[in-house]
């Protein structure tokens, strides 16, 4: 007889004492093990909330998403991997099910082959015990909630939308068997498990039973939904690449940080540096950051230039930092190290020991970032500032940009 492979890790359960999520988690593991699934046959998808704490508990593939969005992620995982011996298990709480209800209905409508397990404690446990869309009217009365709207019956809704299997289970002793049925069902299955929150609800399961919805089970005999396979061409197949036109003197790789203010051309300057790096025969990436207001506040960009392919675009530390404004300096000052070469505009009012240069004076407010980049390229000899001039020669503002680049000679 084949030995069952353990699905859970040895990580301690993170739930409050008495929380029903622990038995729900163990029941999922037991069901998978009894059905013969191996750890790497299973993808666990979760989202925000107490139910989302399950990630380190399963020794499987795992994906963690935004609140309520785990069913949508699960659909993508399942449709992308339709091997019969693989299984996608989605876990969310009643809060997540409320927020992402449309995702549940869409998975049911398409009858995607995955199992959704809802840990229903009838409240938002992570944010203070607020009522959810699955809180019963009796429970809301117990909690003295002002919410008078009737709750959703997510099992009825999923069944009506087309789920192959939809079931509510209130008794712990039946959790594993119900989950085995659901997981073994081809198509979309959803199981709602009654889960007691001992922090914001009552302390005993026997008391909790008075407030939950009666058990129910529905079956739809439907074909499993599949994603149509289409043969398409890669999006970049017909895109013309940049030819190498300049040499470079870089050894290894270098990370460049440009920090300024909105409207100062920081993002476009960083893009132009990345393109210039490609013209100089290097691999390059560009990543920008700015506040949601877009038109005010800081604007920061990271550029990596490398002899070798770049597999991660994040800049953990900057080798060079070009700081144009006070906004930019405030944003990045805590990530500058004593190994970072820092060039800072002379108009930055904050006291620093860094080398100050007249980038804004030479290039103007909108051209200071380009002026700083051209200055650094000329001083470092990584590659010629002429590569920047080549990048902007066909730009609609070619004259202004070229003047900003050439202004480095007056810094």
Residue 2: what pLDDT?
58
Q: Are the C-beta atoms of 71 and 90 separated by less than 8 Å?
A: yes
DSSP 151: P
Which stretches of the chain drop beneath a pLDDT of 70? 1-3, 294
* Helix, strand, coil content of the chain in percent (nearest 5): 35, 20, 45
For residue 86, how many other CB atoms are within 10 A of its CB? 17
User: What is the CA 267 to chain-centroid distance, rounded?
Assistant: 23
Q: Interhelix angle for 154-161 vs 101-110, to 10°?
A: 40
Domains of the chain: 21-219 (3.40.50.970), 253-410 (3.40.920.10)
Alpha-carbon gap, residue 68 to 390, rounded angstroms: 48
Q: How much is the pTM? A: 0.65
pLDDT digits (tens, 9 = 90+) for 269-319: 999 999 999 999 999 999 999 987 768 899 999 999 999 999 988 888 899
CA-nearest of 181, 221, 187 to 108 is 187
Q: What is the pLDDT of residue 1?
A: 46
């Amino acid at each position: 007889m084949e030995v069952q492979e353990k699905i859970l890790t040895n990580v301690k359960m993170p739930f409050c004492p008495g929380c029903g999520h622990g038995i729900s988690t163990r029941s999922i593991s037991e069901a998978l093990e009894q059905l013969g699934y191996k750890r790497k046959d299973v993808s666990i998808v979760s989202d925000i909330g107490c139910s989302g704490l399950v990630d380190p508990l399963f020794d499987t593939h795992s994906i963690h998403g935004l609140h309520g969005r785990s069913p949508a992620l699960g659909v993508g995982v399942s449709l992308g991997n339709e091997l019969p011996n693989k299984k996608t298990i989605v876990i969310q709480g009643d809060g997540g099910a409320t927020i992402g209800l449309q995702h549940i209905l869409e998975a049911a409508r398409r009858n995607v082959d995955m199992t959704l397990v809802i840990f229903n404690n009838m409240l938002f446990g992570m944010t203070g015990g607020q009522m959810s869309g699955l809180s019963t009217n009796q429970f809301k009365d117990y909690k003295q909630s002002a919410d008078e709207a009737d709750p959703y019956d997510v099992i009825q809704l999923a069944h009506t939308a087309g789920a192959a299997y939809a079931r509510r289970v209130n008794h712990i002793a039946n959790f594993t068997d119900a989950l085995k049925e659901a997981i073994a069902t081809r198509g979309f299955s959803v199981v709602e498990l009654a889960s007691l929150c001992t922090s914001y609800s009552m302390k005993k399961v026997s008391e909790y039973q008075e407030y939950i919805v009666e058990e129910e089970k529905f079956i739809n005999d439907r074909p499993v939904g599949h994603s149509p396979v289409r043969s398409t061409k890669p999006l970049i197949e017909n895109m013309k690449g940049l030819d190498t036109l300049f040499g470079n003197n870089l050894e290894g790789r270098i990370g460049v940080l440009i920090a300024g203010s909105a409207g100062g051309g920081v993002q476009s300057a960083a893009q132009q540096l990345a393109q210039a790096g490609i013209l100089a025969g290097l691999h390059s990436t560009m990543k920008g950051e700015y506040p949601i207001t877009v038109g005010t506040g800081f604007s920061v960009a990271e550029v990596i230039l490398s002899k070798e392919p770049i597999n991660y675009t994040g800049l953990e530390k900057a080798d060079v930092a070009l700081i144009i404004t006070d906004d930019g300096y405030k944003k990045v000052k805590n990530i500058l190290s004593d190994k970072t070469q820092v060039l800072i505009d002379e108009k930055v009012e904050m006291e620093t020991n860094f080398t100050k240069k007249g980038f804004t004076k030479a290039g103007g407010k909108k051209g200071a970032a380009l002026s700083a980049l051209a200055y650094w390229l000329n001083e470092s000899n990584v590659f010629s500032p002429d590569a920047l001039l080549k990048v902007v020669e066909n730009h609609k503002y070619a004259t202004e940009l070229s003047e900003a680049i050439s202004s480095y000679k007056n810094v």
